[in-house]
């Protein structure tokens, strides 16, 4: 029999005995009716009283168990047996409903993040065996059948299929998988049988890291949660002192009998329980984190969720955030040499670099590159490369690099990135490379501005390029020609210029922008799917490459904070009102319990609303 069923049986027995005691107290001998009420109390609240005693022994005196125990024992001491039992009975019923609400909300969040695989089909020596994902080694072959979850990050060896990645990314659009493609743990295989070689142990896999991130989010408390914790620490002993004074001072001043004022003091204690606040506020933040996770937005703690709701400025890196980060050569402009020779010089000079622009140059050249022909490579971050190619010094980079060599450049108005090429101290021409703006980038900027957020774009590109892209997107301010340290300086400047209460969020790819992500109030990494560095570097990770997730995350955070404020105001308001009624004798003890339980349940149900967040327009 489950613990909940046992609890319900005890409460039913307590209710039966309470009714029997109330009906018989005037027609049987008093000790008999008192014994019935004591039996009812044993079923309804013995566990609460014992818990209070244990907590007191451990130095934790002022909690709800203590308050309820004092109220009940006090009611018995002044002969209010039915109400003493009713206090515990109502409290236990409230706890039952409260636990159900909390468990339901946690289950909802668990369902949202239901990406933990139960097993892996390991393929060894022609035999398939089920194994615990933790027991699968790197390099093992696994089989993923239709309808199964991918248990570990792996690369497809055989088979073609379609994967549902919605649990990781929030995207409903399936992704295709074929030999050579990387598949991530937590995705669901839809229609084809896949054989794949594992790339990581389960503890390092995408699903495991995401689950750890969400489960550990509660350890980083928001200011609201810290306030409630401190509030409860001082609030509870304060109301105990007030109740004690209420029980003693008025009778000493001749305002009534001790029994009357002790009863009022006990009622005062009952209603003072801070359960509604202590439970509903953390639950609201946990719900907000769960709702964001469902949409592929991973928030590492409720402190970041709260900060996100106060965002005033969003600074965004251009490449990889607002644009696709896929560079292609659009045009060549050779000076005294052929197009092929211009591309050869640029590709060889950039051969050792893994920068997207370097990759696009090598791709456009289209021929094998002999690394033995390149030496003395010097790469300057944000400017370009100087290297010896076949014994001749070649420079490939932006205008800053070329001008630093004392070479004049022709003026060109272009939309894209110009890579200038110099060999043997002579200008050889330029290569125009452009990046494509993401489909939803313009809408993302418009949605951010619609909620009153200033948008700033940071880029290392030339000023003319930055301004043109910013104009296309509708960004408020574009800061161009920035080296990595220049981005940090600009973010620090933006931090100084915002209001004291407002927050600045920086959005980057989580790898190259790590210093800026760390400096901002909130670091947001785009495209975290499969990127270990992104998940480690940022406070918030958007698992897809969609900028439109940014305003959605902010709206979820604002909704969460709104619910938290509602619960704080509602709970404190009702408690203050009923506390006054109890002190004046207008609220009986059972009504105080009912009010306290009612406030807790309503606050918890309100906290759960954020889980039902449907869209960015909700």
Q: Which residues are catalytic?
A: 317
Q: Are 249 and 241 in contact (CB under 8 A)?
A: no
Q: DSSP alpha helices (H): ranges in 387-483? A: 399-404, 441-450, 463-473
CB atoms within 10 A of CB 582: 27
User: What is the distance between the alpha carbons of residues 198 and 348, in angstroms, rounded to a whole number?
Assistant: 35
Q: What gap in Å lies between CA 143 and CA 151, rounded to an integer?
A: 10
Residue reference for tokens 């615990």: 132
Tokens 């055989």, located at residue: 158
Q: In DSSP terms, which residues pair with 393 in a beta bridge? A: 388
**DSSP string spanning 133-186?**
GGGPPTT-EEEE-TTPBP-S-EEEEE--EEEE-HHHH---S-EEE-TT-EE-TT
Distance of CA 384 to the CA centre of its chain: 37
CB contact at 8 A, 52 and 75: no
Q: Count of CB atoms within 10 A of residue 6's CB? A: 10
Determine the 3-state secondary structure of 528 from DSSP. coil
Q: Number of helices and strands (H, E) in the chain?
A: 20, 22
Report CA-CA distances (Å) from 449 to 15, 311, 322, 523, 550.
58, 12, 15, 19, 12
Q: What is the DSSP string of 552-564?
A: HHHHHHHHHHHHH
The H or E element containing residue 207 is: helix 206-215
3-class SS of residue 8 = helix
Cα 578 from Cα 273, distance rounded (Å): 12
């Amino acid at each position: 029999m489950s613990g909940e069923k046992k609890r319900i049986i005890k409460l039913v027995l307590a209710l039966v005995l309470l009714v029997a005691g109330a009906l018989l107290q005037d027609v049987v001998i008093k000790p008999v009716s008192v014994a019935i009420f004591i039996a009812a109390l044993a079923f309804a609240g013995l566990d609460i009283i014992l818990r209070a005693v244990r907590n007191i022994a451990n130095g934790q005196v002022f909690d709800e168990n203590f308050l309820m125990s004092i109220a009940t024992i006090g009611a018995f001491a002044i002969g209010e047996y039915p109400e003493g039992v009713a206090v515990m009975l109502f409290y236990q019923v409230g706890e039952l409903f409260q636990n159900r609400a909390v468990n339901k909300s946690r289950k909802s969040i668990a369902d949202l993040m239901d990406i933990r695989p139960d097993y892996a089909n390991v393929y060894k020596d022609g035999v398939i065996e089920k194994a615990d994902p933790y027991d699968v080694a790197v390099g093992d072959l696994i089989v993923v059948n239709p309808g199964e979850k991918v248990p570990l990050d792996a690369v497809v060896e055989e088979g073609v299929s379609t994967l549902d990645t919605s649990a990781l990314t929030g995207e409903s659009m399936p992704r295709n998988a074929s030999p050579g493609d990387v598949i991530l743990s937590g995705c669901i295989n839809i229609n084809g049988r896949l054989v794949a070689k594992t790339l990581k142990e389960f503890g390092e896999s995408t699903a495991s890291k995401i689950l750890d991130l969400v489960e550990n989010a509660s350890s980083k408390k928001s200011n609201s949660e810290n306030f409630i914790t401190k509030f409860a620490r001082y609030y509870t002993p304060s109301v105990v002192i007030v109740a004690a004074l209420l029980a003693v001072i008025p009778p000493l001043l001749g305002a009534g009998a001790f029994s009357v004022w002790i009863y009022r003091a006990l009622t005062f204690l009952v209603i003072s329980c801070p359960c509604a606040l202590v439970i509903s506020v953390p639950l609201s933040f946990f719900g907000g984190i769960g709702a964001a996770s469902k949409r592929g937005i991973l928030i590492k703690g409720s402190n970041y969720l709260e900060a996100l709701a106060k965002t005033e400025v969003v600074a965004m890196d251009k490449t990889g955030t607002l644009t696709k980060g896929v560079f292609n050569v659009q045009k060549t402009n050779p000076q005294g040499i052929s197009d092929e020779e211009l591309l050869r010089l640029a590709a060889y000079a950039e051969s050792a670099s893994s920068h997207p622009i370097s990759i696009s140059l090598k791709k456009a050249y289209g021929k094998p590159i002999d690394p033995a022909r390149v030496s003395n490579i010097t790469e300057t971050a944000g400017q370009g490369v100087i290297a010896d190619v076949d014994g001749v010094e070649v420079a490939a980079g932006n205008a800053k690099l070329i001008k630093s060599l004392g070479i004049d450049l022709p003026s060109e108005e272009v939309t894209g990135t110009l890579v200038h090429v110099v060999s043997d101290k002579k200008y050889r021409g330029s290569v125009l490379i452009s990046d494509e703006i993401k489909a939803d980038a313009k809408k993302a900027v418009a949605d951010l501005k619609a909620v009153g957020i200033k948008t700033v774009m940071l880029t290392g590109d030339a000023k003319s390029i930055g301004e043109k892209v910013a104009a296309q997107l509708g960004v408020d301010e574009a800061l161009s020609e920035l080296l990595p340290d220049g981005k940090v300086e600009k973010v620090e400047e933006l931090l100084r210029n915002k209001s004291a209460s407002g927050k600045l969020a920086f959005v980057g790819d989580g790898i190259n922008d790590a210093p800026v992500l760390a400096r901002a109030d909130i670091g947001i990494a785009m495209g975290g799917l499969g990127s270990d560095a992104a998940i480690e570097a940022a406070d918030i990770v958007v698992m897809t490459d969609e900028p439109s997730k940014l305003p959605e995350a902010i709206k979820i955070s604002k909704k969460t904070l709104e619910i938290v404020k509602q619960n704080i105001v509602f709970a404190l308001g009702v408690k203050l009102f009923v506390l006054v009624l109890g002190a004046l004798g207008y609220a009986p003890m059972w009504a105080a319990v009912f009010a306290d339980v009612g406030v807790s349940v309503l606050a918890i149900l309100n906290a759960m609303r954020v889980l039902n967040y449907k869209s960015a327009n909700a």
